Copies of this chain bind each other. A is one copy, B any other.
Amino acid sequence: MYATALSSTRRVAGVPSIVSAPGFSRPQQISLFSAESGIYAQGERSGALYRIEFGAVRIYRLLADGRRQVVAFHLAGETFGFEANPSHSFFAEAMVRTGVRTLNHSTNDEAASELMALALRSMIRAQEHLLVVGRQSAVEKLAVFLVDMAERQGDLDHIDLPMTRIDIGDYLGMTIETVSRSFAKLRDEGIVRLLNARSVEIIKPGRLRRLSR
């Protein structure tokens, strides 16, 4: 009952509540999060890494007036935590029921190089994202998003979206109506088929990919 309906255009006051899960800070243990529950605790020291065993997570920032920017989506098998700087009003939330393994923040070289690699990947991702948000049209943005999701889910023909249109809009910097209309354009051109709002079949991968650059 809080951040679910949050979007840039439907603004809200205040920030979402933060929920800590049982066993959260015990390393090498899987923590469970129900859909729409928060993952970062407010006082959390930065540097902690999280590996998603199953489910999906969104990372976002808020403007004072409630406008939201989703910085990243993370899917099963992915590691995150580098984006999360609690001192800069970042939030991480499970989008669906999600299992997360908290990785030890040990000081050995191995962990350090892993952290560095993650930092580099996160940076590249953030900048690709910036390029998309800053420099592409609505349909191009959606195409980039769909191609990315398809690749990360390992199935180039079919995508299951764990997020709402609000999430997608706040990720791509546009309203939910524009997201929906962009879906409609891709559908009307025979590029994708919408089995339902969360399930997308890619009919013409080549055209989608061409749109996305």
Q: Which residues of A contact B (CB under 8 A)?
A: 8, 46, 61, 63-65, 67-69, 71, 82-83, 85, 88, 90, 112, 115-116, 119-120, 122-124, 126-131, 133-136, 172-173, 213
**B135 to A173, Cβ gap below 8 A?**
yes
Neighbouring B residues of A82 by C-beta, 8 Å: 120, 123
**Closest chain B CB from A75 CB (angstroms):** 19
* Pairs A–B under 8 Å by Cβ, sample size 17: A61-B127, A61-B131, A63-B213, A65-B213, A67-B135, A69-B127, A82-B120, A85-B123, A88-B127, A88-B128, A90-B127, A122-B123, A123-B123, A126-B127, A126-B130, A133-B133, A134-B134
Q: How far is the CA of A119 from the CA of B128 in the complex (A)?
A: 16
| CB-based nearest B residue for A125 | B126
Neighbouring B residues of A83 by C-beta, 8 Å: 123, 127
Neighbouring B residues of A122 by C-beta, 8 Å: 123
| CB-based nearest B residue for A8 | B135
Given contacts A65-B213, A122-B123, A134-B134, 16 further A-B contacts (CB under 8 A): A46-B120, A63-B131, A63-B213, A64-B213, A69-B131, A69-B134, A71-B130, A112-B116, A115-B116, A116-B116, A119-B120, A123-B123, A126-B127, A129-B130, A130-B130, A133-B173
Q: How far is the CA of A64 from the CA of B210 in the complex (A)?
A: 11
Q: How far is the CA of A124 from the CA of B90 in the complex (A)?
A: 10
| CB-based nearest B residue for A85 | B124
Neighbouring B residues of A85 by C-beta, 8 Å: 120, 123-124
Q: How far is the CA of A134 from the CA of B175 in the complex (A)?
A: 11
Neighbouring B residues of A68 by C-beta, 8 Å: 135
Q: How far is the CA of A131 from the CA of B8 in the complex (A)?
A: 11
Q: How far is the CA of A172 from the CA of B131 in the complex (A)?
A: 10
